Amino acid sequence: MLHVEWSTADGHSGATDLDAGNKLVLARRMELPEQQPMVVEEIAGSLYVLVRLPYVSDPALVLTSTEGEPVLYRRQRANGAIVEVTTPSGVAITPEPGQRITLTASGTRVSFRVPELELAIATRFRASSSPESGSGTVQLGLSTLEHDDSWLVAALAVALSPEHGVVPHGELKSAFAAWRGIAEPSVGSFDRNVLRPAVEARGAELPGTRLNKIAYLVERCRRTSEFPPHVLDEVRRRLSSLPSPGR
């Protein structure tokens, strides 16, 4: 259970409890009337904060309740937006566009600021017994996000790449197929349906279609420390136990 209290700089506020799987979502809705630029709705157990602002992404923030710690996904592109996560101890970080993090300390606050909107979200939940990391957050664990192709292929790419290089395209494609238990896809299908969406989900823009998507992906994930060492070790252990596709 995740308890959230939200407020805006112009005086709107509210609170709700979110069961596992439900979310608080901030999103753009340009069809709202000018005289009512913000609407808050509860739909099927989730809370939606909808705003009539063109520079807010759709969605901009998604805070998901889980059986453990809540997960924050920042999809908001730059557009002058400031997104900040602050732990009760005062440590603050700024997630990059496309980044997902797990909040590990109850009382962590999330703030979202653009012109004409300042949204603050306070959280309360039962934290796990794992110690708080230096940044106040840890990236998501393997079991939480392996269902997401964009997350999985990035984790595989980083785990399989040497320290000063990147994993070959064919090896990554085979590893992805083995993990999913599917026939190995064609080069075009893998690039179009898996690699490119993974790069785009992290806010990176490829200047050309023929450039090395894996290199872009690995560099982006390493630069933002998206995968902690224990997750990469778990990925490698799992890969070593999987049969090759078609075996």
For the chain, domain boundaries = 2-138, 144-240
Query: What pLDDT is attached to residue 139?
Result: 47
For residue 204, the model assigns a pLDDT of 55
pLDDT at position 234: 86
Whether the per-residue pLDDT at 247 is higher than 50: the answer is no
Model confidence at 100, pLDDT cuts 50, 70, 90, reads confident
Q: Which residue's structure tokens are 């823009």?
A: 205
Distance CA 81, CA 83 (A): 6
Tell me whether residue 200 is exposed, middle or buried, using C-beta atoms within 10 angstroms of its C-beta: 0 to 12, 13 to 18, 19 or more.
middle
Q: How confident is the model at residue 203 (pLDDT cuts 50, 70, 90)?
A: low
Q: Is the pTM of this model over 0.75?
A: no
**2-138 maps to which CATH number?**
2.60.200.20
pLDDT tens sequence across 107-131? 999 999 988 899 999 999 986 544 4
CA-to-CA dists, residue 218 to 123, 156, 166, 168, angstroms: 32, 10, 7, 12
